[in-house]
Amino acid sequence: MNEDKNFGDQARETANNFSDGAKNSANDFKESWNQTTNHGENKKLLCGILGILFGYLGIHKFILGYTKEGIIQIIVSIVTCGIGGIIGFIEGIIYLTKSDEEFYQTYQVGRKPWF
């Protein structure tokens, strides 16, 4: 009976050690992921280039989290046979000419959807 209790305690301790290691690894991954994906400069550059190249599809809007505006951009481009894509082109240029802090405050914190 004593052997079973020792084995159970050993298994519990091993499981707790594994759990702690998994939590630490998950937290490290989460911190790295947040640093990589939430950096304003990355979104600024990505959205600016996509706005210039694929502005008619509104991809830059979806990346910034503006789903409704992205759908509107696609519809406008379809209705105007692609001429509405000039909006995305202009927005891409505006994104790239703003400073990193100004872009972050305007489009990611302030959530300004157009221009």
Task: Judge if 47 and 34 occupy the same domain.
Answer: no
- pTM of the complete model: 0.60
Domain that holds residue 29: 1-38
pLDDT of residue 33: 61
For the chain, how many structural domains are there in total? 2
pLDDT of residue 106: 87
Task: Judge if 61 and 105 occupy the same domain.
Answer: yes
Residue 115, domain member (yes or no): no
Residue 11, domain member (yes or no): yes
30 versus 14: the higher-pLDDT residue is 14
Check whether 41 has a pLDDT greater than 60: no
| Contact between residue 103 and residue 40 where contact means Cβ atoms under 8 Å apart | yes
48 — pLDDT class (breaks 50, 70, 90): very high
- Segment 26-55 mean pLDDT: 75
82 Cβ contact partners less than 8 Å away, ≥ 6 residues apart:
56
Task: Judge if 51 and 84 occupy the same domain.
Answer: yes
Q: What is the pLDDT of residues 86-98, one digit of tens each?
A: 999 999 999 999 9
Task: Judge if 53 and 102 occupy the same domain.
Answer: yes
Task: Judge if 33 and 85 occupy the same domain.
Answer: no
Task: Judge if 47 and 93 occupy the same domain.
Answer: yes
| Cα gap 19→86, rounded to integer Å | 53
Q: Which alpha helices (DSSP H) does the chain contain, by range?
A: 2-37, 40-54, 59-63, 67-79, 85-97, 100-103
Task: Judge if 34 and 65 occupy the same domain.
Answer: no
Task: Judge if 52 and 93 occupy the same domain.
Answer: yes
115 versus 62: the higher-pLDDT residue is 62
Task: Judge if 64 and 96 occupy the same domain.
Answer: yes
Task: Judge if 102 and 56 occupy the same domain.
Answer: yes
